[in-house]
Every structure is written in C-alpha cells, then in structure tokens.
Amino acid sequence: MKPVPIAGAVALAVLLWLQRRKLETTLKAGGAVAVAGLLVYGSGVIQLPDIKGVVEDLGRTLGNWTYLVVGLMAFLETGAFVGLIAPGETFMVFGGVVAGQGIVSLVALIGIAWAAAVAGDAVSFFAGRRLGRAFLIRHGPRVQITEERVRMVEEFFDRHGGKAVVLGRFIGIVRAVNPFLAGSSGMAFGRFLPYSIIGAGAWATILLVLGFIFWHSFDEVLEYAERGAWALGTLIAVVVGLVWAHRHFRVPENREAFAARVDELLDRPALRPVARVVRPLWHKTRGPRRFVWNRVTPGDLGLELTTLLAVLAVGSFAFGAYAIELLEGTTVTPGDQRAFVIADDLRAAWLTDVAKIVTELGSFAVVAPVVAVCALALVVRRRYGEGIVLALGLPLTLLLVHLAKNLIDRPRPTGALVDTMGMSYPSGHAAYATAWLVIAILVGRVGLAWRTAAVAVASAVVVLVAATRVYLRAHYLSDVIGGVGLAASVFAVVGMAVLVVAHLRNNGRRTP
C-alpha cells in the first residue's frame, strides 16, 4: 500500500464532489479517471514503468523532430485553441527534457518555440479581427469555450490592459483565447505585438529551461521541488505585500497617517541624531505627488517602453544564442554554410563591386559622423532624450562589439573578398549599421511626415549591409545576426533608461 497516492485520490474525490455543480462533464469524467488511477496505483496492484527510461526512449525516437513537434504545439497553443485541449506546457517541458539529454539544442529550441508562439498569437489575433467575438460565442462551446469563459477572459483583459497579453500566457484559458479577443476588441496590432513577444518569450524559455534542468536533476527532483515551493511561497508573500502596500498608500488618508507616525518616531529623543540626517530627506518626499507608475512598470508602462523591452528580449537572445553555441565549441552553424552556398551562386563581378560600396555604409567611419550630426540636431531641437540615445548608443555598441570579439575569439571565414581584421563574432559592420534604423525611428519621433519611408529605407540598409558582409565572406551569417542583436539590445537599454529617468523626473514633481 502507498498512502500518498491514496490520500491524493481521496482529496481529489472530495474536491470533485464539492465542485460537482460547477464542473463540466468532461472535467468530472477526467477527475473520476484520475481518482481511479491513483487508487489502483496506491493499492500496489500495478507498478508504474521506469519514467526516466520511457522519456529517454521517446527522446531518441523523436530526435531532431523534437524541433517540429515543440514549434508546432507552441503555434497551435493559441493559433488554433489547442491549449484548451492539450496544454502546451507539457510539450514545452518535454522539449526541455529532450534537450537535457543532449539530443537537440536548448537554445535553438527556445528560438523556435518563441517564434512559433508569437506566430500563433498573430494568427489568432487577426482571426479575431476578422471573425469577431460573436464567432467565438457561437462556435466556442465545441472546444469548451463557453460564453462564461469568454466573459472571464474579457474581464481579465479589461482589468489588466496590455499586460494581460503577457500575464495571460501563464493562465490556461486566458492564453488560449486572449489573442483572439484582443483582435476582436479592436486593439492595434502594433500595440499587441510587443506584449506578445515578451509573454511568448518568457513562457517558452521558462518551461523549456525547467524541463532541461529537471532532466539533469532527475534524481534530486523532490529536494528541488521542496526548495522551489518555499521560494514560490516567499515570492507570493512578497508580491502580495507589495500589492497591499501600493493599494494602501494610494489612499491620501493612509499616506498622511503613515507620515504622521514617521514624524512622531523621529521626534523621540533617542532618535534625534538619526533624525537630523533623515528628516531633511524625509520632508523632500512629503506631500502629494503624481507618480504615474503605469508608465514605468510592465503592462501599462506605455507602448514605447514595452516595445523597447521586446526589442531587448529578441536582440539579446539573437546575440546570446550564437555566443553560447560558439563558446561551447561550435565553429560553423548550418545556416552559415547555407548562406555561403547562396552567395557563391549569386557571385558576379558587378555585384561584388556594388557589395563593396554598400558594405561601407556599416563601417564605423561612415556611421559615427552621421550619428554625431543627428544627435546634435536633435539636441538643438530640444529633443534631449533622443539625442542621448544616439550619443551613448553607438559608443557603447562599439565597446561591446570589441569586448565580444575578444571573448568569443572566432576566426574569420576564409576567402574574404575585402580586407578584414580582428575576430569574426559579432559583425561590427552589421552592429553599426543598426544605427541607421535607430536614427530613422528617433527622427520620426520629431514628427516628420516621411518617417515611415525613412524607417523602411533604414531597415533596407541594415539588411543590405548584413547581406554584403556574408556575400563578401567577411563574416558568417551568425556574425551579422549577432551583431544586429547586440546593437539592438544596446540601443534598447539606453532608450529604456532615458524613458524611465524622464518619467521619474516628471512623476516626482508636486501636483499644484
């Protein structure tokens, strides 16, 4: 007899009985099967197979097909409401387990699952835009999407706004229908996409890494589970405390009462030495202030900061994924070989001459003066934030490019058609060329009518410079992707810092 499974069966049976009027028939049937299974297992009549052995065999059988299975399930999770029937978390964790066996690459798996999840969100979003809420109400019951569930998700969406797209990724019913409802509600796709990127990336990464770590710690899983439960409990307590404090001190009367208690405490004779230092600082923070915290916290923080956070997530992953592979001993990726084959097929004398000219648009000698002039022009127009982003972003990119080259120490490709020097990863030309796109975006913020065309042209310049570096065999494809990712991350971090500082300064001003 095994008491733990039997106790679990009893607890589940009690829960099913208490909730019998609220649960659907399918859930009742599934619960009954689970209770029966626990009772049979607890009685010792049957023995479970070697789970570790089963997973090993399944992982070896799938092999590289794991990429397809995980990517497809990540896409269908929201793209076709499959998450209501077969939770995608199971497949994500399983993919991490297979990666833990060394059969597939964890980094590649995260990238595939992330991209597929965002694509699934986009399909569901545009389906909602075209079909509308009425379609979901009419046909939803076939896949357990009742009107009550739709209303629950809508209330969640209304309550949390944009950040519901991120939070909803970790809530089953919300994850499955949230993108559809976002589209049917009329939400702009440009606002939806950054939240989708952040949420999908966090969801896929956490679950895949969880499976990866679980496999490497299979024999110690109970110990880690206990530690994880304690850590989770601590985290929940902290979060609940912060939420309570925020709601409590949002009320003016509560703030005034707290301030009075602090003043009373500082008036005590024993604390007079401390009060002489603390009181001036304390009084500077007194009085009603306009703290618009939704501008500097994920969710309703503002589209600009949300977008920069999404750019940082994608850019840092693009750079870090290849860096990890190279540091682990990979010399040439499959994409690198394929890119060189395509370049060799396209090679012609006139095209090589053109490529040598275009590639100079990514040289630091060309980009730096343009950045300096644009930064100065922005400052003259009193657009100090935009000017700071340009003035700091490019030098930081230059510094980090050379640090990464020396750390990763990847040799250049052979047979270069232009003079090269230094190590290969990441591509400096591709990184510096990213500044053209940043210039177009920042100049567009000034309000110029041709900003869309400027962004399109600048994007084309970045792509062409990156392509010429591969065509001229000055860099591998992974070098240019890593270079663009690094530069995008740097400019995003600088932009976020500028936005946060500006909003904190504005929010800290006293209200009249």
pLDDT in tens, 355-392: 999 999 999 999 999 999 999 988 888 888 889 999 99
235 and 192 in a common domain: no
- Which comes out higher in pLDDT, residue 94 or 15? 94
Are 100 and 93 in contact by the 8 Å Cβ rule? The answer is no
CA 457 to chain centre: 27
Rounded average pLDDT over 428-441: 93
> Domain total for the chain?
4
Of 288, 314, 333, the last residue of a domain is: 288
Q: Are 9 and 122 in a shared domain?
A: no
Last residue of a domain, one of 216, 245, 273: 216
In a shared domain, residues 105 and 184? yes
In a domain? residue 167: yes
400 found inside a domain: yes
Q: Is the pLDDT of residue 230 over 90?
A: no
Domain assignment of residue 470, yes or no: yes
Considering the domain architecture, whether residues 365 and 446 belong to the same structural domain is answered as yes
231 and 205 in one domain? no
Is 327 inside any structural domain?
yes
* Highest mean pLDDT out of 159-168, 257-266, 490-499: 490-499
Is residue 43 within 8 A of residue 5, CB to CB? The reply is: no
489 shares a domain with 410: yes
**Residues 33 and 55 grouped into a single domain:** no
Tell me: do 455 and 374 sit in the same domain.
yes
Provide the 3-class DSSP secondary structure of residue 24: coil
Q: Return the pLDDT at 299.
A: 39
Tokens 């890494």 correspond to: 209
pLDDT at 293 over 60: no
- Buried b / exposed e across 92-130, counting CB within 10 Å, b at 16+? bbbbbbbbbeebbbbbbbbbbbbbbbbbbbbbbbebbbe
What would the mean pLDDT of 180-187 be, rounded to a whole number? 77
Point out the domain boundary residue: 153, 181, 216: 216
Q: Is residue 296 part of a domain?
A: no
The more confident residue out of 152 and 319 is 319
Say how many C-beta atoms besides its own lie within 10 A of residue 454's C-beta. Answer: 17
**268 within some domain:** yes
Count each helix (H run) and each strand (E run) in the chain, helices first.
Answer: 22, 0
In a domain, 295, yes or no: no
Contact assessment for residue 430 and residue 480, using Cβ atoms and an 8 Å cutoff = yes
C-alpha torsion angle, residues 293, 297, 299, 303 (rounded to 10):
90
Q: Which has the higher per-residue pLDDT, 164 or 202?
A: 202
Q: In percent, how much of the chain has pLDDT > 70?
A: 64
Residues 264 and 333 placed together within one structural domain of the fold: no
Do 253 and 207 sit in the same domain of this protein? no
Q: How far apart are CA 6 and CA 362, in angstroms?
A: 67
- Is residue 376 domain-shared with residue 469, that is, in the same domain? yes
Same domain, 329 and 195: no
Helices in 132-188 by DSSP H: which ranges?
Answer: 133-139, 147-160, 163-167, 172-184
Domain extent at residue 267: 225-288
Task: Note the pLDDT tens digit of each residue in 55-85.
Answer: 566 667 777 888 888 888 888 877 656 655 5
Q: Which of 147, 194, 156, 148 is nearest to 175 (CA)?
A: 156
Average pLDDT over residues 288-307: 52
Name which of 509, 419, 399, 512 is nearest 473 in CA terms.
419
- Residue 294 placed within a domain: no
